[in-house]
Structure 1
Amino acid sequence: MGITARGVGLLVTAVVLLGVGFRYAYPELTVLGAAAAVAVGYALVNAAWRPRLLVERVADPDRVARGEPATMTLTVRNTGRLRAANLVAEDRCGRALVPVPLLRLRPGRNTEVRYEVPTHRRGVVPVGPLRVTRRDPLGLVALARPYGGTVPVWVHPRIHPLTAVPTGAGRSLEGRTDSVPHGSITFDSLREYVVGDELRRVHWRTSARVGELMVRENVDTSLPRIVVVLDNRATAHPTRVAGEAESFESACEAAASVVAATVREDLPMSLLLVAPTETEPAGAGGPLDRLAAAELTDGGEDVLPTAMSRLRQERLGDTLIFLTGPGGHTDLGHVGALRRAYPSVVVGVFGATQPTPAGAAGLVVVDAADGAQFAAEWDGIRRW
């Protein structure tokens, strides 16, 4: 509960008038002081009344690409039975406040407000809660309360269509790596039998040895397994324009474009950040949501070597796509060390003032100013 400056002044005046009136026996001053005290008390009681409001939000849609329109529909219902609500309300939309008229909202009635959600920047835009301010008629006390929860609107990076996709790498019986457009089913591991497994996949010799049914788990080794690594180190994207690193936004657009291409071709894909966040964003439903929530971080000097060591040990796929900015231009040696673990390594460098030397560290390097240029250069790659 907050007393305004006017209320503080009136309360001090009431105390002074009552003190002087009682001390020097001035009934007029005592009456004025009592009236001022009653006014403050009435303001406190009036502002303390808590209206019963039901707040609902619907985002249409709740996931958009950067620059696409998104609308938030806010519905406020007065669930009280006695009094009409006459309030001042504001809904928080990102960093902005949207006024919501709640004038004489009768019991059982509702009001609906629609407004545009800003999508000019990539990110997660939290909408809500509704902030309702209750004031007395004299403006002596103002009490603000939150109503409803928060609904996120996911603003994804722009997607630039990619026509080309990696062909994949298949492991031959001699241990070589062959690029093939179509693969075969290859034994990968054994696991316990579950209801629904085909009996022809049962490995009878192992089943007899362990005393329970074991089935073969097969994989298609020629199907390309793509690993997209986004360099979100602040040192890799040093240039800022209006507080935004354009090279990082371009890298996010390139990553989103690769993700969309792999989904279209139904290919397995993993998305990693060089400097991972401590917790996943709440409500994230896929790699595009992770890209929307991705932010630059300091990390430290050991972040990149640690990430590259993890990629080398886990071998998450056969095609590695590393996306960085002008500050990561000198760190490509760490990426080049992964060529033994990943037969195909493509590096995208965004916003560099000078082109990367051809064949740097034995990699396929794409220099691009933005996501659209990356897509054009990507489709021109002839060697994976």
Structure 2
Amino acid sequence: MGITARGVGLLVAAVVLLGVGFRFAYPELTLLGAAAGAAVGYAVLTAAWRPRLEVARSADPDRVARGEPASMTVTVRNSGRLRAASLVAEDRCGDRAVPVPVLRLRPGRDTTVRYDVPTRRRGVVPVGPLRVTRRDPLGLVSVARAYGGTVPVWVHPRIHPLRAVPTGAGRSLDGRVDAVPHGSITFDSLREYVVGDELRRVHWRTSARVGELMVRENVDTSLPRIVVLLDNRAAAYPDRVDGVAESFESGCEAAASIVTAAFREDLPVVLLFVAPDPETAAPGAAVPDATASSAIAPGAAGGGGLTGGGPLDRLAAAQLSTADDALRAAANRLRQDRLGDTLVFLTGPGSRGDLGHVGALRGAYPSVVVGVFGGPEPTPAGAAGMVVVDAADGAAFAAEWDGVRRW
């Protein structure tokens, strides 16, 4: 509960009038002071009334690509039994407030408001809660309360269709993608039996030890394994407008497009980031959510990684002294782990001088592709056998990607 400046003035006047009236025996002043005090008391009682409201909201849809339309429907129901509700309500949508009219809402009735959710910036847009403000008729006291929860709207990067995918270091004897539901050739792990699994895949010794059927999970090691490394350092994207680097947004679109294309082809793929964080690595199936939330959200963080400012939009800053150290550490991790045979590095014009760290990975990754976004001029290859793709945006990158004939 907050008292307005008018309420503070009236309360001070009530105290002064009552004090002077009693001290010097002026009944008129005492009456005015009592009236002022009664007005403040009435304002407190009026604003303190807590309406019984039920708030339900639904996003349509709750996951969209950047720039696509999305809307939020808010339904407010007066669950009280005695009084109608006439309130001033605002729904929080990202960093702006949307007015929700609640006028003469009788008991048992509801009102519905539908409005557009801004999707011009990629990230997670938290919508809610509904903020209801109660004021007395004289404007002396104001009380704000929150109703309902928060519904996130995921704004993903745009995904551009890619026809070509890397072929990898080796070819599968039965084609690029074998017609085997769970892979073949090489043992990978054990998992629980599900209806439909072949009994010849059951590992009986482990099943007897754990007390339930365990099935061998195999993979085809001849399939290409793609590693997408997205540069999320602020230094790589020097040009920003209103805190948003369009070249970084283009890199996010390219990363989402590559991982989606690989996932549709049932190819192993992993998405990594230069600024390290245990929660930023995402498998191919989860690339839209990873590229919309804490992993690579719009804005810039002081530690050298790009991030945003929402409650679901935080990235732990890398404990590294410079952006060059971050890329060098990421290259060392990739060299030691050898996660695949095709490395795709996506970055901005600010890291052209750092491509030597990526080119040095040719020994661990037979195919290295570098995508540079927003550069004023073509980028030199920098290392023998490294493919460099210069693109203005995600759509141009998709066109150039499909035109690459060697990996």
Same fold (TM over 0.5): yes
Relative distance call for 1:277 and 1:9 in structure 2 (3 A) is: farther
**Which residue of the partner structure matches residue 95 of structure 1?**
95
**Which residue of the partner structure matches residue 4 of structure 2?**
4
Q: Does 1:327 align with 2:327?
A: no
Relative distance call for 1:216 and 1:136 in structure 2 (3 A) is: closer
Deviates more, 1:292-301 or 1:138-147: 292-301
User: Aligned partners of 1:36, 1:350: CA distance in 2, in Å?
Assistant: 67
Map 1:326-365 to 2 at 5 A: 326-358=349-381, 360=383, 362-365=385-388
Q: Does 1:185 align with 2:184?
A: yes
Q: Is the 8 A contact 2:260 2:287 kept in 1?
A: no
Relative distance call for 1:355 and 1:9 in structure 2 (3 A) is: same
Structure 1 gaps, min length 5: 173-177
User: Aligned partners of 1:76, 1:202: CA distance in 2, in Å?
Assistant: 55
Give every structure 1 segment of 4 or more consecutive aligned residues whose post-TM-superposition deviation is greater than 6 Å.
Answer: 210-215
Q: Does 1:304 align with 2:332?
A: no
Deviates more, 1:16-25 or 1:329-338: 329-338
Deviates more, 1:299-308 or 1:129-138: 299-308
Q: Is the 8 A contact 1:182 1:222 kept in 2?
A: no
Relative distance call for 1:171 and 1:261 in structure 2 (3 A) is: closer
Whichever residue aligns with residue 78 of structure 1, its letter is N
Q: CA deviation at 1:229?
A: 1.3
User: Aligned partners of 1:363, 1:8: CA distance in 2, in Å?
Assistant: 71
Question: What are the superposed Cα offsets for residues 173-197 of structure 1, whole Å, 9 maximum, x if unpaired?
Answer: xxxxx9x746693223575885876
Whichever residue aligns with residue 188 of structure 1, its letter is F
Q: CA deviation at 1:48?
A: 0.9
Question: Residue 54 of structure 1 aligns to a residue in which SS?
Answer: strand
**Which residue of the partner structure matches residue 255 of structure 2?**
255
User: Aligned partners of 2:56, 2:192: CA distance in 1, in Å?
Assistant: 47
Structure 2 gaps, min length 5: 305-317
**Which residue of the partner structure matches residue 308 of structure 2?**
none
Deviates more, 1:243-252 or 1:301-310: 301-310
Q: CA deviation at 1:225?
A: 2.0
Deviates more, 1:157-166 or 1:85-94: 157-166
Considering only aligned residues, what root-mean-square deviation do their CA atoms show, in Å? 2.7
* TM-score using structure 2 length: 0.84
Q: Is the 8 A contact 1:67 1:120 kept in 2?
A: yes
Q: CA deviation at 1:287?
A: 1.1
Whichever residue aligns with residue 228 of structure 1, its letter is V
Q: CA deviation at 1:216?
A: 5.5
* TM-score using structure 1 length: 0.89
How many aligned positions are there?
Answer: 372
Q: Is the 8 A contact 1:168 1:181 kept in 2?
A: no
Q: Is the 8 A contact 2:89 2:130 kept in 1?
A: yes
Q: Is the 8 A contact 1:87 1:102 kept in 2?
A: yes
Relative distance call for 1:41 and 1:5 in structure 2 (3 A) is: same
Question: What are the superposed Cα offsets for residues 220-255 of structure 1, whole Å, 9 maximum, x if unpaired?
Answer: 112222221111000111111232111101101111
Q: Is the 8 A contact 2:355 2:382 kept in 1?
A: no
Whichever residue aligns with residue 38 of structure 1, its letter is A
Relative distance call for 1:239 and 1:106 in structure 2 (3 A) is: same
User: Aligned partners of 1:214, 1:264: CA distance in 2, in Å?
Assistant: 28
Question: What are the superposed Cα offsets for residues 129-162 of structure 1, whole Å, 9 maximum, x if unpaired?
Answer: 1110000111100111111111111111112211
